Amino acid sequence: MSSNRPSPAQPPTLRDVAEAAGVHPATVSRALNPKTRTQVGAETVRRVQRVAKALGYQPNPIARSLKTSRSNTIGLIIPDLTNPLFPPIVRGIESVLEPGGYSSLIVNTDNDPERERVKIESLRSRQVEGLIVATARLDHPLLVELHEQGVRMVLVNRRVEDLEIPYVTADDVTGVTLAVERLARLGHTRIAHLSGPQTTSTGVARARAFRHAVRDQGLEDDPSLIAECAHWSEADGAHALRLLLDRGAQFTAVVAGNDLIALGCYDVFAERGISCPEDMSVVGFNDMPFLDKLRPALTSVRIPHHDIGVEAAHTLLECIEEPARPPRSLLLPVSLVVRDSTARANERRL
Amino acid sequence: MSSNRPSPAQPPTLRDVAEAAGVHPATVSRALNPKTRTQVGAETVRRVQRVAKALGYQPNPIARSLKTSRSNTIGLIIPDLTNPLFPPIVRGIESVLEPGGYSSLIVNTDNDPERERVKIESLRSRQVEGLIVATARLDHPLLVELHEQGVRMVLVNRRVEDLEIPYVTADDVTGVTLAVERLARLGHTRIAHLSGPQTTSTGVARARAFRHAVRDQGLEDDPSLIAECAHWSEADGAHALRLLLDRGAQFTAVVAGNDLIALGCYDVFAERGISCPEDMSVVGFNDMPFLDKLRPALTSVRIPHHDIGVEAAHTLLECIEEPARPPRSLLLPVSLVVRDSTARANERRL
DNA sequence: TTGTAGGCGTTATCAC
DNA sequence: GTGATAACGCCTACAA
C-alpha cells in the first residue's frame, strides 16, 4: 500500500512497475516485450500489464537504445522541404515508418555538399539506423563512403553511378516519352528540352530519354534545342529558356526537366510576350500541387509521390531488419496529365 | 598493452579516448564538454582533444541523454506538411534549432484529435523536451492537459483560449484590414468573407477583424455575406462560396480565410463562369509560393513564414533553457501583396 | 518460470 | 586538476 509516490510526476520506470507488481524488473521487461513474453507465466504477464497500465508506464526508449544500440530513428536527407515535390514523399515515408515504430529526422541540405556532410554527420551521431536520401548526385563521394562504411540507405528519385545502393524512382524514361509523343501528335516538330542538372541521374535519364523519344517520333535530334539548367529551379529554368531564345533556336514546344523549370518558362513567356500554348507548348514533370490553377494550367508528368515514399521506407526497413537479403530497387509508373499548356503547333513560329 | 581493438570499426567511446590519452574517462568527459573544460588542465585538454579527433571520437548522444535525461529533441506538430504554408515555417524552426544542438521530430496530425493524441504520446515517449504546435484549436483539452503537466510548448499561427501558452502568429487583424481597405478603395461595397474554421483562433480572429474592417470602411456589416469553412482547404472554400452564391447573396469581392480557401473560389468561378477579377475580386491570406503564377495571380496577405518559425523556435528554446522567465508571445507584421485577382468593383453584379 | 548480475556510454559527485 | 565510483533505465546471458 505504501508505495505511492508523492513525487512530482517522475515517470515510472521498469523498477516501479516491478515493485508494484511484486516481481523482479527483469520479469517485467520480459512480460512487456512481445518477443519474450512467452517466457513468463500467463498470470504474471497479466498482472504486470495491469500494473504497468495503471502506473502509466512507458518504456524509456533512450535507455533501451543504449542497451540495444538501436535508435529506431532514420534520417531523411532532402534538398529543400519547400519544394512541393518532397512533402508528399515525406508523408509516404512516415506512413510506413511510424507503424514500424520508427521516427524520422528530416534535414535540408540546399544541395550544398558541405552542409550535407555536416548534417549527415549529425544524424549519424544521433545513431540513425538508416538514411533515405533525395539529394544523390551521379558522382557522390560522400554516399559512396557511407555505403562502404555499411550505412544502410535508400535513394529516392535519384541514383548514384556504379553503386549498388537501392533506389526508388519514377519511370523517367516513360514520362518523357509520353510528353514527347503527345507534343509530336500535336504537330510539334521542333521540341526543346530544358534539362535538369546533368550531375543528377534524373537529369541525365530524362535528357537521354528525350533524345531517344524525339528520334523515335522521326524528328530531328538537334542538340541546339537542349539547354541544361544548373539547378532544378524556376530561376534556372528561366535562364535556360532565355539562352535558347537568344541563341535564335527555332522551336514550338518545351519539355521541361521538372515543374519548377517549367514555371521558369512562364516567367520568360511573360517577359517576351510569348503566349502559351498558342505560340509555345510546355510540359512539366512531377505534377506538383496546384498546377491545375496556373496560367495556363501546366501539362505535366505525374509521378506517384506518396508511393515513392512508401516504397523507399519499406525498402529501408527491409535493409535494416533483414540485412542479409539483397535489396531490390524500384521503378514506379508515371502518367501524363494533359492540361492547357500544350496545344497544336504554331507553324508560324518556325 | 593488448588494448588494441582489432574489431570492425566499433566507434570509439570515451573510454577508448581516455586509454589512448592516458587519462581517466571522467577527465575526457570534462575536457570535451565546454561547460566543464575549465576544470581540466590546459595541457590535458589539448592532448585529449587531439586524441579524440585522431580516433574520430563522437559522443554518444543516447548515453548522454540517459544520464542527463535530456534528449535535445523537440516535437513539431503540424496538420499537414503538404500544405505549402508549413514547410517554410519548418525551415525557420530548424534554422534555429540546429545551431542550438537540437533536432526536431515532425508529425502530421491531419487535424484529427485522436491521431494527434497518439503522435504526441509517441513524441513524449521519445523524451522530446518541448513541442511546437501548429494545430491548436481554441478549445483544445489535450493542449491544456499537456500544459498542466508542465510540457513546454509554443503555438504557431494559433492560440488557445484562456491559456498562458506562448504563441507566435502573424498579425491577422492588420492583414484582414489591409485586404478590406484595398477592396473598399477599389469601390467594392459588398464584400464577402469565407472564414476559416471558427474552432481555430486564426479563423475567429480573421472573421472578427473582417467585420470590424468593413464597418470601419463605412460599409454594411451583413452577416449573410459570411460563410464558414469547415477546414482550411480548397474543397471547403469552394463549398462555402457555392453556398453563398446559391443563397443569392450579392457581393463583388471575397476575402478568403487563407489561400487554399481562395483557390477553392477559383474552382467555383470556373464552374459558374464567373470571371475574376472582372466579375469578382478575391484576396487570399498567407501568400503561399507560386501564387503569382495562378490564373489570375492571387492577391494575398503575406506573412513572414520563416520568421514565424524562427521566433517560435527561439521562444521554445528560451522556455527550455530558462524555465523561470515568463515567456512572451509574438505578433509578426504582415503586408498585402497586390496581384491580379483584385480589380475595381463591377457594379452590374449587384 | 523467475531472479541475479553486469553492462550499454556518459556524467555527477565524491574523494584525493 | 584528476581519479574513482555510482547511476541513468533497460536488456540479457546465465543461474536457480
Which grid cell is B283? 484576396
User: Is B48 (CB) below 7 Å from strand C?
Assistant: no
Q: Which residues in chain B are closer than 8 Å to A82, comparing Cβ atoms?
A: 87-88, 91, 289
CA dist., res. A189 & res. B246, Å (int): 48
CA dist., res. B315 & res. B321, Å (int): 10
Residue B349 pLDDT > 70: no
Cβ burial B201-219 (10 Å sphere, 16+ → b, else e): bbbbbbbebbbebbeebeb
Residue A265 pLDDT > 50: yes
Q: Are B330 and B316 in contact (CB under 8 A)?
A: no
The amino acid at residue B230 is A
User: Is A51 (CB) below 7 Å from strand C?
Assistant: no
CA dist., res. B263 & res. B289, Å (int): 13
Confidence band for B295, pLDDT divided at 50, 70 and 90: confident
Q: For the CA atoms of A95, A106, B35, B21, what is the dihedral angle to 10 degrees?
A: 100
User: Is A44 (CB) below 7 Å from strand C?
Assistant: yes
Residue to substitute from B70, B82, B93, B266, interface A, most A β-carbons within 10 A: B82
Residue to substitute from A293, A294, A295, interface B, most B β-carbons within 10 A: A293
Report the largest interatomic distance among the alpha carbons of chain B, rounded to a whole angstrom.
Answer: 96
Interatomic CA–C1' length for residue A335 and nucleotide C5, angstroms: 62
Backbone angles phi, psi at B226, to 5 degrees: -120, 130
Contact check, Cβ <8 Å, A149/B9: yes
SS3 string of B67-136? HHCCCCEEEEEECCCCCCCHHHHHHHHHHHHCCCCCEEEEEECCCCHHHHHHHHHHHHHCCCCEEEECCC
Cβ-Cβ pairs closer than 8 A, A with B, add up to 95
CA quadruple B221, B226, B228, B229: dihedral sign: negative
Burial class (CB in 10 A: 0-12, 13-18, 19+), B41: exposed
CA dist., res. A347 & res. A273, Å (int): 17
In DSSP terms, A194 is beta-bridged to A227, A256
More confident call, A36 vs A162: A36
**Mean pLDDT along residues A270-275:** 94
Residue B2 pLDDT > 50: no
Contact map slice: B 235-254 vs A, CB within 8 A = none
Q: Which residues in chain B are closer than 8 Å to A90, comparing Cβ atoms?
A: 81
What residues contact residue A13 under an 8 Å CB cut-off, 6+ apart? A57, A60
Backbone angles phi, psi at A292, to 5 degrees: -70, -10
Residue with minimal CA–C1' distance to C13 is B26
- Candidate from B63, B105, B124 with C-beta closest to A103: B105
Q: Which residue of B has its CA nearest to A104?
A: B105
**Mean pLDDT along residues A6-22:** 79
Helix, strand counts (H, E) of chain B: 12, 12
Residues A143-180: tens digit of each pLDDT: 999 998 889 999 999 988 878 899 999 999 999 999 99
User: Whole-prediction pTM value?
Assistant: 0.92
User: Is B127 (CB) below 7 Å from strand C?
Assistant: no
Which grid cell is A195? 534539362
Q: Which residues in chain B are closer than 8 Å to A104, comparing Cβ atoms?
A: 105-106
Q: What is the DSSP letter of A233?
A: S
CA distances, A309 to each of A168, A223, A305, B200 (Å): 8, 35, 7, 31
Which pLDDT value is given to residue B323? 79
Q: Are A186 and A336 in contact (CB under 8 A)?
A: no
Confidence band for A325, pLDDT divided at 50, 70 and 90: confident
Per DSSP, the three-state class of B45 is helix
The amino acid at residue B247 is R
Report CA B16 to chain centroid distance, whole Å.
Answer: 43
Residue B277: how many CB atoms within 10 A of its CB?
Answer: 21
Contact check, Cβ <8 Å, A94/B108: yes
Distance from CA of B221 to the nearest CA of A (A): 31
Q: What percent of chain A has pLDDT over 70?
A: 97
User: Whose CA is closest to B133, among B125, B123, A13?
Assistant: B123
Residue B5 pLDDT > 60: no
Kindly list the structural domains of chain B, giving each domain's residue range(s) and its CATH number in brackets, ordered by start: 14-59 (1.10.260), 71-170+305-332 (3.40.50.2300), 172-303+335-349 (3.40.50.2300)
User: Is B117 (CB) below 7 Å from strand C?
Assistant: no
Interatomic CA–C1' length for residue A58 and nucleotide D11, angstroms: 15
Distance from CA of B212 to the nearest CA of A (A): 32
Backbone angles phi, psi at B330, to 5 degrees: -135, 140
Residue B7 pLDDT > 60: no
Considering only A96-105, A232-241, B165-174, B221-230, which range has the smallest mean pLDDT?
A: A96-105
Contact check, Cβ <8 Å, A125/B88: no
Which grid cell is A73? 530513428
Contact check, Cβ <8 Å, B87/A88: no
Task: Return the closest nucleotide (C1') to the Cα of B27.
Answer: D2
Task: Return the closest nucleotide (C1') to the Cα of A67.
Answer: C8
Q: Are A191 and A183 in contact (CB under 8 A)?
A: yes
Q: Are B62 and A127 in contact (CB under 8 A)?
A: yes
Whether chain B has a CB inside 8 Å of the CB on A266: the answer is yes
**Mean pLDDT along residues B123-142:** 91
Residues B160-184: tens digit of each pLDDT: 887 889 999 999 999 999 999 999 9
Considering only A46-55, A119-128, B70-79, which range has the smallest mean pLDDT?
A: A119-128
Residues close to nucleic acid strand D (C-beta < 7 A): A 10, 13-15, 25-26, 29-30, 32-33, 36, 59-60, 63-64, 66-68; B 22-27, 30, 39-41, 43-45, 63, 66-67, 69
Instruction: Tell me the average pLDDT of chain A.
Output: 92
Interatomic CA–C1' length for residue A285 and nucleotide C12, angstroms: 57
User: Whose CA is closest to B274, among B226, B242, B300?
Assistant: B242
Which pLDDT value is given to residue B4? 37
Residues 66-85 of A with CB under 7 A from strand C: 66-67, 69
CA dist., res. B300 & res. B286, Å (int): 7
User: Is B60 (CB) below 7 Å from strand C?
Assistant: yes
In DSSP terms, B285 is beta-bridged to B301
Q: Are A93 and A312 in contact (CB under 8 A)?
A: yes
Instruction: Tell me the average pLDDT of chain B.
Output: 92
Q: Are B89 and B156 in contact (CB under 8 A)?
A: yes
User: Is A189 (CB) below 7 Å from strand C?
Assistant: no
**Mean pLDDT along residues A134-138:** 93
Residue with minimal CA–C1' distance to C8 is A67
User: Whose CA is closest to A212, among A240, A175, A185, A251?
Assistant: A175
Backbone angles phi, psi at B70, to 5 degrees: -130, 135
More confident call, A186 vs A162: A186
User: Is B87 (CB) below 7 Å from strand C?
Assistant: no
Which grid cell is A56? 502509466
Contact check, Cβ <8 Å, B91/A108: yes
Q: Are B169 and B315 in contact (CB under 8 A)?
A: no
Confidence band for B85, pLDDT divided at 50, 70 and 90: very high
Contact check, Cβ <8 Å, B87/A81: yes
Contact check, Cβ <8 Å, B81/A87: yes
Backbone angles phi, psi at B60, to 5 degrees: -90, 110
Confidence band for A4, pLDDT divided at 50, 70 and 90: very low
Residue with minimal CA–C1' distance to D12 is A26
Contact check, Cβ <8 Å, B61/A125: yes
Q: What percent of chain B has pLDDT over 70?
A: 97
CA distances, B66 to each of A69, B7, B165 (Å): 13, 26, 28
User: Whose CA is closest to B334, among B299, B304, B293, B310?
Assistant: B304
Which pLDDT value is given to residue B8? 47
Report CA B172 to chain centroid distance, whole Å.
Answer: 14
Which pLDDT value is given to residue B120? 92
Task: Return the closest nucleotide (C1') to the Cα of A69.
Answer: C8
Q: Are A258 and A285 in contact (CB under 8 A)?
A: yes
Whether chain B has a CB inside 8 Å of the CB on A149: the answer is yes
Considering only A93-97, A166-170, A263-267, A289-293, which range has the smallest mean pLDDT?
A: A289-293
Q: For residue A246, give the H/E element and its range.
A: helix A234-246
CA dist., res. B333 & res. B164, Å (int): 22
Contact check, Cβ <8 Å, A127/B294: no
Backbone angles phi, psi at A284, to 5 degrees: -100, -170
Q: Which residue of A has its CA nearest to B148?
A: A9
Residue A15 pLDDT > 50: yes
Residues A85-132: tens digit of each pLDDT: 999 999 999 999 988 889 999 999 999 999 999 899 889 888 899 999
Considering only A18-32, A301-315, B166-180, B271-285, which range has the smallest mean pLDDT?
A: A18-32
